[in-house]
Structure 1
Amino acid sequence: MAKYMVLFQIGPVQEFIRAARKTQDYWASSFLLSYLNCQAIYAFGKHNVVFPQVTSSSFFDNALKSTSFWKGVSDSAAYIPSVPNRFFGIIESDNPEKQLKKAKEAVYESWKKNLSENVLKTINNKWKSVIDVTLWNDQINDRALEILYVWREWDEGEDYGAAYRATEALMGARKASRIFPALNPQTGYACSLCGLRVALGSSLVKTREKLRNWWQANIREKFTYRFREGEYLCTVCTVKRLYPEVVFSRAGDVPSTSTMATITWQKELQGLLTHPSLTQEEMKNLQKCLNQFRNEAKTAARQLSEPETASLPPYFAHLKIKTDQLLEVEGDWLIPSWYQHRERREKAKAALESLKKLKETVTGLVAKVNKAAPSAPIRVNEPPLYLALITADGDNMGAYLASCTQDEHQKISQRLQTFATEAVPEVIEHDRPGFILYWGGDEGLALVSLADLLPALRALHEKWKRVVLNGQDKPTLSAGAVIFHHQYPLRQAMREVFQTLEYAKSLRSYNREKDAWAVKILKRSGAPLLTRAHWHYDHEGTTVRPLELLNKFIDAYQGEKLSPRWLAALQAEERVLDDPPDSWKKPEKENWWDTAKDLFDHEVKRLLHRQASEDWKRSGGLDQLVSQVQALNQVISGIPPQRNLVRYQDLKGMLHLSHYIAKGGGR
């Protein structure tokens, strides 16, 4: 029997991402693809699969169990989508297509019977069979999944890397020559979420308004809080919205963007609740205020037909905090402006008053604690309105794998599996209150609070070096992140974060490419702010780490060692310091680069000294910061002939980023 290299892929990934309106939608789409690929790998034969390595994957093992098993699963780690939507394998067979078809059939079998049919049965039990089964089956069978696969004979005498490249090229050709089956035309109103298929109920009504009313009466009232007012979805989007609850007993366990934005306040509140300097009476009073607000918020939520509780990140479960010490409410309830909506002013008035009382109590206790121990101050600032979305991706993975032997490929696959299932959850969900939407192998997506953004980026890179690189220098990792308001459209934030990752990967300097991070701030008003840098630079015998420097600025602002007025003064001199315009010729740009670089060093030193505290100056901390900023200027500027002609944009973006995080974002 001959040996064959095979590639198998389940899609459409981009369609699922574009259709995500809520964090729950994105997680559900990612979990769905991971779950279905597990069925494909099992049917194909996991011992034949090189990537991803699933021999030690608990997610893979759980995905093969019956749906009744999931009803008893409470560990959040079991729900992290950690298997990519494709697999690469090597099989010895006379007919590799037969095994690939078997994998495809397993995917459709699970999609139809385990997921779709269970959702349809639940709907019909609640609605007494009002669903158009013909439309349902048409969309489930023919308009949902796109499964592609290729195979190529491999003689072991042929170079493994060259054969792998050729197999990837075959998949590229297969994607470019998609064969679309003839489908009956769809009539009715398009799904309000994806816009690709007709919404359920369209055949029963004649106007869009009547369709909304039909959904309100038949769906929203039956599945509380699963659908927004005015939504009308197709079969596929309905299954994606309901299957987590119906099949896996996981209803609304994904934190919303407002909860993730305000989660730092909840984390800081826990530090105050357990602070040793508080008296029993003070702790009792604080707990009383917390309980009163929680009860008032739940009462108002019932009157407003809003969810009474909300899911928090797994971080708090890992700490084993008592339930009565947590505010398991949507983050919106912690934001005073949210109460100004006309429907909430009266019904939520008592909740707002109890929130004000809670915050006043917290402010007083923080002041008391800091007065007693000024050397170790604590903070419980106003709940932030901004959060961050992080994505990462291994650099040049295709080229790296094409240089591997089969044994090396299997080893890197195992290390990537360990990174995705152990290292990333530790960084995002154990060490801080973040949430993983998806992480498979070298790529993923996660939500973190604004305050945790830079530490999380640093920690992910450190884990990558230890777990994946394992003493080697390749493959490197690049990451992108966007900071956005909790009411900003999630699907747009998704697009922005992937664009930001590409901006990081476009960095070229010091004979290096990629191996970088980039952050974009999506302000509610004004132009976005974008910055990027390599993870580290070697400079005159020392190592410059931009993220560490930004954290020092944040500590200086928050510790009142440095006034942000120095940054405003620097910006006032932008005409002199700014990057040369595109209309200039190259010699003029290079002359400007030399002058502006030296001028920046001088002005940074002068302005920082003017706005720093005297105690910090005497301690030597300021001089150390100045020298680090000047070193950063040198490495960001580049070395001739590799001049960075957007030097000031990158530097300004970094300096503003540190201040933006220090003040808790915008308002």
Structure 2
Amino acid sequence: MKTLHMSIGPVQSFVSQARRTRDLWAGSFLLSFLTGHAMVQILKEGGGIIFPRVHDPEGGLPSAISDDLLQKIWEVQDAESDSSEGPFVGSLPNRFQAKIPEHLPPDRIVGAVRRAWDQVAQAVKEKAFPRGLPPAAEEIWKRQVRNFWEVTWAMGEEPDLLNRRKYWRSHIPPEEPGDKCTLTGNLQELSGMIRAHERKEQDAFWEMVRRKGQLSPFDLQENERLSAIALIKRLYPQVAKRALGWELPNQARNFPSTAYLAAMPWMLSRGKTRPKQASRMTQAARRAGIMDSEHPAFQPKEVDPGFYKLEGSVFFSSNLVRDHFWKEPGKKEADEKDQEELKKALSQLTDEGKEPPSPFYALLLMDGDRMGELLKRGAEKVSEALGRFTQTVSKTVGDKQGYTVYAGGDDVLALLPLKQGLPAAVQLQKQYREAFSAVDVSGEISAGLVYAHYKAPLQSVLKSAHQLLDDVAKNECGRDSLAIRVWKGGGPVWTWACPWEKVLRGSGTPETHLEWAADQMRNQQAYSSSFFYHLRTRIEPLEPMGRKEEDESFYPEMIQRLMVAEYMRGDREIPREQAEEQMEALLPISLEYWRDEQKRIQQRRFQTEGVLIARFLATEGREEP
């Protein structure tokens, strides 16, 4: 046997080029699907996968396969599957290590990836262009489909071989001329026409695609002009049986929007406590031409199930008063009376606007720390630990009302309602440590958590999450840390990071200092805007005295006394003991902490970012329009 290292790319650019959550999920799952075909080819040729652990090396195949996606691909290839609904969460990383027989050339494994990709591409092509492509578009399609993926491999025992192999840069995509895709801006859009000179003809081409492909505005909007790659990513869920070999559930084909994720807890609450009003809103929405565009995994029985299928943006009153909202693609014409009836129904559900849904959701990105070092010390144990961890992710995220976009190896990408983002991160961090502890290895994981307004551009939010994870949680905070950012309507406003030891309270509920502080602030009028402003202007500029031994105890005590004094200023009548208790809840999130190279936690200066994020969690961002 010989050792093979293989990766499929591009990864981040392909996945992150997403205008909506379905694009994000579809790109991630497609990468896992292609990796799965490479792995199945190896297993059927008598080889085995070393990293990640996806099968029992001592067991017989296919029963020894532990990964659901890999198992389904095997079954479809062997015609052992009835093509019913199958897995839809990407669970296989784009990079893996395997043992392959001496007689097996890596090009045969690469060929399996190419065949799987061609099958997906052909299914989408037949859907979008049932009568074939015009010659110019056919040329663009073939060029992009043929040259997009870079499958890199190396043979040998050294763990860094694949990284060294990538320095060769042997994959040089052809030049992409003409107008560019509105989703993947580096690729030419399919019509091949120049908009500056052929606007009408170009619009007619894409109208033809929508009409002949029977595509809804949710599949292809009027202002979208896509490349072959973007069109494949957008449409393959609609032809999953031909593209993948099995059907995808509605939950995948209609992945929840950011607005829906933000409104979900409010919807569940209102559906349970006010079912008649919720049903009334559902009927008003249908009369107003609002389409059912969401397909949640849950189906509560208290209310008309159509209530939970309405598009997420309809639950925010600011949308219903905009003329542009009613002119969006997919909206049916509705007269003013129907529009007013919907506004009235929503107003009743929100108590005349006093209890609206939060406009924020959570995007969680997690990545194992020092994975290269761990693999050098024992790839088999690390692979087993990651296999244990991966199998827990989807359930944990689902239990928090969230949706897993990707969970493979040491990486996690998930979307959740605002209040569930931090509890999910904490639970996954614990499960990661437990998975490694079970094989007697110390494993650490860092997380980037972005609380984003549902109207914030998804591509920008995802890019920010990657920067937050890599630059803040790992580099600035010293790994094994959590970094949080709040992204309001105008962009990112606050960033806070802390080693996990200082994030967690150690005992009690809630588990984190941030949530504890938010609970203390909730319904406390004493926490006025001026209090937070004065914390920033009067206390934040104060620096530690410079004597490390004294600063570790004296500086926090001094800061707490100053916070108590600021809290008790003015006409506020409050016992000092109560003020000290409340400031004690804020202190752990008011000091900067970081981990040095010896993994010792160091203390820096006072900062207000953590306090402001706690206040944001207390209000759930409802001060935002």
TM-score range, shorter chain: 0.7 to 0.9
* Partner SS, residue 323 of structure 2: coil
Once residues 440 and 602 of structure 2 are traced to their aligned partners in structure 1, the CA distance between those partners, rounded to angstroms, is: 28
For the residue of structure 2 that corresponds to 1:403, the secondary structure is helix
When normalised by structure 2's length, the TM-score is 0.83
Q: Which moved more, 1:210-219 or 1:492-501?
A: 210-219
> Which residue of 2 is the match for residue 599 of structure 1?
558
Indicate the SS of the match to 2:288: helix
**Equivalent residue runs for 1:175-324 within 5 Å:** 175-180=166-171, 183=174, 186-203=176-193, 207=197, 209-210=199-200, 212-221=202-211, 222-225=214-217, 226-248=219-241, 249-250=247-248, 252-273=253-274, 286-287=275-276, 289-301=277-289, 308-314=291-297, 316-317=298-299, 324=305
CA distance in 2, matches of 1:313, 1:621: 44
Kindly provide the CA deviation profile for residues 438-492 of structure 1, in whole angstroms up to 9, marking residues without a partner as x. Answer: 1112112111111212222222222223334338562111100111111111111
The C-alpha deviation readout for 1:56-78, integer Å capped at 9, x for no partner, is: 111111133449968631x7xx2
Preserved CA contact (<8 Å) 1:387 1:485: yes
**Mapping 1:130-209, distance limit 5 Å:** 130=134, 132-142=137-147, 144-152=148-156, 163=157, 166-168=158-160, 170-180=161-171, 183=174, 186-203=176-193, 207=197, 209=199
Q: Which runs of 5+ in 2 are unaligned?
A: 55-64, 242-246, 327-333
Change (3 A) 1:576 1:564: closer
Tell me the CA shift for residue 176 of structure 1: 1.2
| Code of the aligned partner of 1:554 | A
SS, match of residue 416 in structure 2: strand
Asked if the contact 1:215–1:232 (Cα under 8 Å) also holds between the matched residues in 2, the reply is no
**8 Å Cα contact 1:5-1:167 kept in structure 2:** no
Residue 624 of structure 1 and its aligned partner are, at CA, apart by 4.9
Correspondence for 2:329: none
- Provide the C-alpha distance between the structure 1 equivalents of 2:336 and 2:5, rounded to a whole number of angstroms: 55
Shift, 1:544, TM fit: 11
Once the 2 structures are TM-superposed, how far is the Cα of residue 596 of structure 1 from its aligned partner?
5.8
Cα distance in 1 for partners of 2:292, 2:6 equals 41
8 Å contact from structure 1 (residues 262, 385) kept in 2: yes
Asked if the contact 1:269/1:380 (under 8 Å) is kept, the reply is no
Query: What residue in structure 1 maps to residue 60 of structure 2?
Result: none
Three-state SS of the structure 1 residue aligned to 2:235 is helix
Task: Report if aligned partners of 2:473, 2:482 keep a CA contact under 8 Å in 1.
Answer: yes
How much has 1:537 moved relative to structure 2? 4.1
CA distance in 2, matches of 1:38, 1:330: 33
- C-alpha change, 1:467 and 1:587, in structure 2 (3 Å) is closer
Structure 1 position 520 matched with structure 2 position 485 = yes
Distance 1:611 1:356 in 2: 42
**Residue type at the aligned position of 1:555:** D
Q: Secondary structure at the match of 1:451?
A: helix
What SS does the aligned partner of 2:96 have? strand
List aligned pairs for 1:98-497, cutoff 5 A.
Answer: 98=105, 100-112=106-118, 114-125=119-130, 127=131, 129-130=133-134, 132-142=137-147, 144-152=148-156, 163=157, 166-168=158-160, 170-180=161-171, 183=174, 186-203=176-193, 207=197, 209-210=199-200, 212-221=202-211, 222-225=214-217, 226-248=219-241, 249-250=247-248, 252-273=253-274, 286-287=275-276, 289-301=277-289, 308-314=291-297, 316-317=298-299, 324=305, 326-344=307-325, 347=335, 350-360=338-348, 363=351, 381-404=355-378, 409-421=379-391, 423-429=392-398, 431-470=399-438, 472=440, 474-497=442-465
Aligned length: 587
Q: Distance in 1 between matches of 2:450 and 2:198?
A: 36
Deviation at 1:547, TM superposition (A): 5.8
Matched to 1:425, the amino acid is S
Match of 2:614 in 1: 658
Residue 53 of structure 1 corresponds to which residue in structure 2? Answer: 53
Q: Could you report, residue by residue, the CA deviation over 1:75-132 in whole angstroms, capped at 9, with x for unpaired residues?
A: 7xx21111111211133x4355x0x2111000001111x211111222232x565463
Compute the displacement of 1:632 (Å).
Answer: 5.7
Cα 1:636–1:611 change in 2 (3 A) is farther
Residue of structure 2 in register with 1:26 after alignment? 24
Q: Does the CA contact (< 8 Å) of 2:317 and 2:346 recur in 1?
A: no
Q: Is the 8 A contact 2:540 2:606 kept in 1?
A: yes
In 2, the alpha carbon distance for the partners of 1:171 and 1:493 equals: 30
Report whether the alignment pairs 1:94 with 2:102: yes
Aligned pair in 2 of structure 1 residues 70, 391: CA closer, same or farther (>3 Å)? farther
Query: Identity, % of aligned pairs?
Result: 22
Shift of residue 636 of structure 1? 3.7
Q: 1:391 deviation in Å?
A: 0.3
SS of aligned partner of 1:7:
strand
**By how many angstroms is 1:181 displaced?**
5.5
**1:604-630: per-residue Cα shift (whole Å, max 9, x none)?**
33455679999x979x88755544444
Higher helix content, 1 or 2: 1
Q: Give how far 1:410 is off.
A: 2.8
RMSD: 3.8
Aligned to 2:58: none
- Residues 349 and 392 (structure 1 numbering): CA distance in 2 closer, same or farther, change over 3 Å? farther
Write out per-residue CA displacement over residues 531-573 of structure 1, whole angstroms, 9 at most, x where no aligned residue.
011122499x977999622212222333x256322x6324314
Structure 1 residue 424: deviation in Å?
1.4
Distance in 1 of aligned mates of 2:592 and 2:604? 13
For residues 489 and 570 of structure 1, do their structure 2 counterparts lie closer, same or farther at Cα, with a shift above 3 Å needed? closer
Match of 1:372 in 2: none
